[in-house]
Amino acid sequence: MRAFLFPGQGSQAVGMGAALAAASPIAREVFQEVDEALGQHLFRLMAEGPAEELMLTENAQPAIMANAIAVLRVIEREGHVRLADKADYVAGHSLGEYSALCAAGGLDLATTARLLKVRGRAMQAAVPVGEGAMAAILGADREKAQAIADAAAEGDICTVANDNDPSQVVISGSKAAVERAVPMAKEMGAKRALLLPVSAPFHCPLMQPAADAMERALASVALHAPLVPLYANVTAAPVADPVTIKALLVEQVTGMVRWRESVLAMVEAGVGDFVELGGKVLAPMVKRTAPDATATSVVSMDDIEALLKGI
């Protein structure tokens, strides 16, 4: 069994999608459709920068999605395959859930791009710049990371945001609390901790205004049952019902990304082959979580051609 995976924020970089667009008119179509949906030259920003503008959450989120869907469309149309025939499940890390739903036919491309624009703006606006932070706790499992977060909180918000793999957990919350957690982490048995270069404290209760914004945005959107089930971040379980998916997308804004558990649950369900589209972040996490599984990152035309030979 196979799962297609879609990366989250942090996988953006200037130049993303440029080589694929140069090689494939199918990819160019995707980038043009996203540009038209957003009324901006997002692909030019992806290809040429500046990096500071691409890093903005409202740009990074639709850009990462567009890049992943461009890779998928090239696979489907040049390889004459359908996702539903080659994947048993889809999953995405944070914003990657929107990419996964788009890939599986739950959302159309233009709607997905507009939702991610709203999501990025809302997440950025939820907490004033400088008041929130995130830190990666390395060499600690979720329980240890939560204990570090609890010890550092001192009345402020500080909690596990991403349980990525057995050796990497991300905490999120008020800047003061997260900064206290960094030196405490090593004292409490973690290998090390480092502050992440993010503009807001994602996946913690401080994001509630953004969750409210996404509830309003999703209310008016047509979301169809995906062609294959989605493993949801907040439940680490498969879901296909559109009403439930909408509720989970809202909950996801403030909730923990249970990525490690999602991978293990997919393996338990019989998945042995994981294919990450548009990034090189999730496949290494899969290998650290499920060493016996196959995990491939597909970004370039060469990657696409190699994948098509194998599936």
The set of catalytic residues is 94, 203
Q: Nearest 5 degrees, angle CA 38-CA 224-CA 204?
A: 65
Q: Please report, for residues 88, 109, 250, 252, 281, the alpha-carbon distance to residue 238 in angstroms, rounded to integers and kept in the order given.
A: 11, 22, 16, 15, 22
Place of tokens 């209310």: 219
Q: Determine contact, residues 91/230, Cβ cutoff 8 Å.
A: yes
Omega prior to 205 cis, within 30 of 0: no
Which amino acid does the sequence have at 58?
E
| Inter-CA distances, 20 with 26, 272, 306, Å | 9, 28, 15
